[in-house]
Amino acid sequence: MIDRARLASLRRQEEARFVERHPRSAALAEEQRANLLAGVPMPWMTRWPGSFPVSVAAAQGGRLVDADGLEYVDLCLGDTGAMTGHALPAVTEAVASRMATGATAMLPSEDAAWVGAELARRFGLPFWQLAISATDANRFVLRFARHLTGRPRVAVMDWCYHGTVDETLAVLGDDGRVVARPGALGPQADVAATTAVVPFNDLGALDRRLAEGDVACLLMEPALTNIGIVLPAPGYSEGVREITRRHGVLLVIDETHTMCAGPGGATAAWGLEPDLLVVGKAIGGGIPCAAYGMTAEVAERLSGPMLGHDIDVAGVGGTLTGSALALAAIRATLSTALGEEDFAAAVPLAGRFTAGVVGAIDAHRLPWHVQRLGCRAEYWFCPPPPDGAAAAAAVDEELEAFLHLWCLNRGVLLTPFHNMALFCPAHTEADVDRHTEVFTDALQALSQ
């Protein structure tokens, strides 16, 4: 379908255009290479298109300005960290005020009760704890699940992503055995000993695996969002709940990305009934924080250990976790953003994006698809895949790198390692149409 020679030559042109347009980012990247491993403060930043990452100068709402003064429609939104839109005034104010009165004391502050109550209201789970990141929250939850059940393994979906949690960096190998995910550096332990992996949308496989009796919890996103978006087939979510209950396996729903489905994530939108729930990234309006909630029954079973003398070395919690600063940021975020009215503004923009991309794909008779979940949409170079492995098989690094660079060079930022666009209430229809125009031009250029 795609002329590879043409793709390579267009990519070279775009690389040259990128370098020419970003002299200041180039200079900063050069300075960064002196003392930052891989020239970046965090390894994923090497995955931006172009031979160096652009340096951010400022971001506001749905727009970002780089060090060269170029402005972008930001459809990455910090890979969901800025799903509210950048620099919410209420968060800026609350964080500044809290900083001025002490950010961290390892004591609860007056925002704590409000935050617990608001999370309970949104997600329908009565008891909550905080974490610094969704990764952290997932790690804590896995520890609790093993403690409560006495079982050694955790189950995850094939090609899932839940942060840098060792057990979850596992996939099904060709022979059906559990192996480390390609690219996972220095696995801490053989994942075959820690993890059970099942394909998404396959209730039979889940039932058979959980019947072995060694799984403490199933950790899953309600829809896969980290290998394109793979939605649950009709009846799948209900089936997962019935099977996990029947086998005494705790169901942990990770809403870190699927919060794009609404104020209470897919859990509230679809009436899911998890035993534990993790949410991170966006809830602090940019301040690092996450939270995990649980049913009254799980809370009751954990109340003993949580009050134990050795809880400070139990492997859950952290010094800066649940700080007054984080609580103030969450309160300011959840009281002014990510509400019904915000989704009412952002979701139609994702719908418009989807229609625009579908139009371009159809015009070029490409067998690609776009999937949308709430205010998040992603295109993929294959027909809708039923599970993560099918989605992973359609990864096309060259094509993806080209499309991302083409968009960046024309003022639209997509999330690296996703063909994902996330919308916030500050985006406009004109922003969406800018992407449609640029994407359509890219397909036109490829087909000439």
Structure tokens at 316: 């859950």
Could you give the CA distance from residue 141 to residue 90 in angstroms, rounded to a whole number? 31
Is 230 strand, coil or helix? strand
Neighbours of 214 (CB within 10 A): 13
The residue nearest ligand PMP at its CB is 163
Query: Please, which residue, 221 or 387, has the CB nearer to ligand PMP?
Result: 221
Query: What are the residues binding ligand PMP (CB under 6 A)?
Result: 133-135, 138, 161-163, 221, 226, 254, 256-257, 280-281
Buried b (16+ CB within 10 A) or exposed e, 394-427: bebeebbbbbbbbbbbbbbbbbbbbbbbbbbbbb
Q: Least CB distance from residue 121 to ligand PMP, whole Å?
A: 22
Query: Please, which residue, 22 or 257, has the CB nearer to ligand PMP?
Result: 257
Task: Give the CA distances from residue 292 to residues 154, 276, 296, 425, in Å, rounded to whole numbers and listed in that order.
Answer: 17, 7, 13, 26
Query: Please, which residue, 294 or 360, has the CB nearer to ligand PMP?
Result: 294
The alpha carbon of 385 is separated from its chain's Cα centroid by a whole number of angstroms, namely 19
Q: Are strands 276-279 and 250-254 parallel, antiparallel or unpaired?
A: parallel
Please list the alpha-helical segments (H only) found in 171-214.
191-194, 203-210
Query: Please, which residue, 146 or 281, has the CB nearer to ligand PMP?
Result: 281
Max Cα distance, the chain (Å): 70
Q: Least CB distance from residue 160 to ligand PMP, whole Å?
A: 8
Query: Please, which residue, 133 or 409, has the CB nearer to ligand PMP?
Result: 133
Could you give the CA distance from residue 284 to residue 51 in angstroms, rounded to a whole number? 32
Could you give the CA distance from residue 376 to residue 420 in angstroms, rounded to a whole number? 7
Structure tokens at 254: 């990770």
Could you give the CA distance from residue 336 to residue 167 in angstroms, rounded to a whole number? 36
Could you give the CA distance from residue 309 to residue 5 in angstroms, rounded to a whole number? 65
Query: Please, which residue, 78 or 199, has the CB nearer to ligand PMP?
Result: 78
Q: Least CB distance from residue 378 to ligand PMP, whole Å?
A: 13
Query: Please, which residue, 94 or 157, has the CB nearer to ligand PMP?
Result: 157
Query: Please, which residue, 85 or 280, has the CB nearer to ligand PMP?
Result: 280
Neighbours of 125 (CB within 10 A): 23
Q: In terms of C-beta distances under 8 Å and separation of at least 24 residues, what long-range contacts does 210-213 make, across chains too?
A: 210/155, 210/243, 210/244, 210/247, 210/249, 211/247, 213/151, 213/247
Query: Please, which residue, 215 or 266, has the CB nearer to ligand PMP?
Result: 266
For 254-268, give the DSSP string. Answer: E-TTGGGGSTTHHHH
Q: Least CB distance from residue 92 to ligand PMP, whole Å?
A: 21
Query: Please, which residue, 183 or 304, has the CB nearer to ligand PMP?
Result: 183
Element (H, E) at 143: helix 134-149
Q: Least CB distance from residue 356 to ligand PMP, whole Å?
A: 25
